[in-house]
């Protein structure tokens, strides 16, 4: 195994795993703004990090050139498609966690478990073109679905907010039942 690749993958999982909870914090506390106001700055962050990070890696990690013509055109075409897929995924995730009412505790396991499964299917279709698939791949996909269900079902979801109208009569009844001497002890 390549340990640096594993470490980088763990970094991706950490960043993307924190995406949902962080996006939840970007919601307006009292509805002052819509859920896609923060999404604009998600795009700005993608743009800045992708361009600056990509250029720095091209120059210093790979000593690459900045030409996107001729033989280099597929880098632009496929890179743009990958960026569109990433941005559409982020847009869908933002919608799922905001307007659609989803919670990170179950949306994120579906996203990442589903991504692993889609990746396995596409990799198989691209590499094997009809060769027999190892049955353990299907077992793994089944286990991913089980893992999604277990993770989403047993992640703490928090408590529902107390209803103020229901709480007020209960408090009044409790206050009426409490003797005055217990409220104001003398002594």
Residues 37-84: tens digit of each pLDDT: 888 888 899 899 999 999 999 999 998 998 999 999 999 999 999 889
pLDDT for residue 165: 59
Structure tokens belonging to residue 109:
């396991």
The radius of gyration computed from the CA coordinates of the chain, to the nearest angstrom, equals 25
pLDDT-based confidence at 161, cuts 50/70/90? low
Torsion of CA 15, 18, 23, 25, to 10 degrees: -130
Secondary structure (3-state) at 171: helix
- Secondary-structure breakdown of the chain: helix, strand, coil percentages, each rounded to the nearest 5: 75, 0, 25
What is the C-alpha to C-alpha distance for residues 79 and 102, in angstroms, rounded to an integer?
A: 30
C-beta of residue 109 within 8 angstroms of C-beta of residue 151: yes
Asked whether 137 and 122 are in contact (CB, 8 A), the reply is no
First CA to last CA distance, the chain: 74
Six token digits for residue 172: 């009044």
- The pLDDT of 97-125, averaged and rounded, is 86
Query: Whole-model pTM?
Result: 0.67
Q: What is the structure's pLDDT at 176?
A: 58
Cα–Cα distance for residue pair 40/34, rounded to 1 Å:
11
Q: Quick one: pLDDT at residue 187?
A: 44
Residue 105: band (very low, low, confident or very high) from pLDDT cuts 50, 70, 90: confident
170: CB partners within 8 A, 6+ apart? none
Q: In this predicted structure, what is the pLDDT of residue 31? A: 82
CA-to-CA distance for 152 and 159, rounded, in angstroms?
16
Bigger pLDDT: 130 vs 53 = 53
pLDDT band at 171 (very low <50, low <70, confident <90, very high): low
Collect all residues with Cβ–Cβ distance below 8 Å to 104 and sequence separation of at least 6: 20, 21, 23, 24, 97
Lowest mean pLDDT among 78-87, 115-124, 139-148: 115-124
Residue 78: HSE in the Cβ half-sphere, 13 Å Cα cutoff: 5
């Amino acid at each position: 195994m390549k340990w640096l690749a594993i470490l980088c993958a763990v970094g991706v999982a950490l960043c993307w795993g924190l995406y949902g909870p962080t996006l939840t914090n970007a919601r307006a506390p009292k509805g002052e703004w819509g859920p896609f106001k923060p999404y604009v700055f998600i795009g700005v962050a993608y743009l800045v990090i992708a361009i600056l990070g990509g250029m720095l890696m091209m120059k210093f990690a790979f000593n690459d050139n900045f030409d996107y013509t001729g033989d280099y055109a597929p880098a632009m075409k496929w890179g743009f498609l990958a960026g569109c897929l990433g941005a559409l995924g982020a847009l869908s995730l933002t919608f799922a966690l905001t307007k659609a009412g989803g919670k990170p505790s179950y949306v994120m396991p579906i996203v990442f478990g589903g991504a692993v499964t889609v990746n396995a299917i596409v990799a198989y279709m691209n590499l094997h073109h009809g060769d027999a698939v190892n049955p353990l791949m299907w077992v793994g996909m089944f286990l991913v679905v089980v893992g999604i269900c277990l993770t989403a079902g047993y992640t703490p979801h928090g408590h529902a907010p107390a209803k103020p109208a229901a709480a007020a009569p209960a408090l009044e009844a409790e206050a009426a039942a409490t003797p005055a001497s217990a409220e104001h002890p003398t002594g």
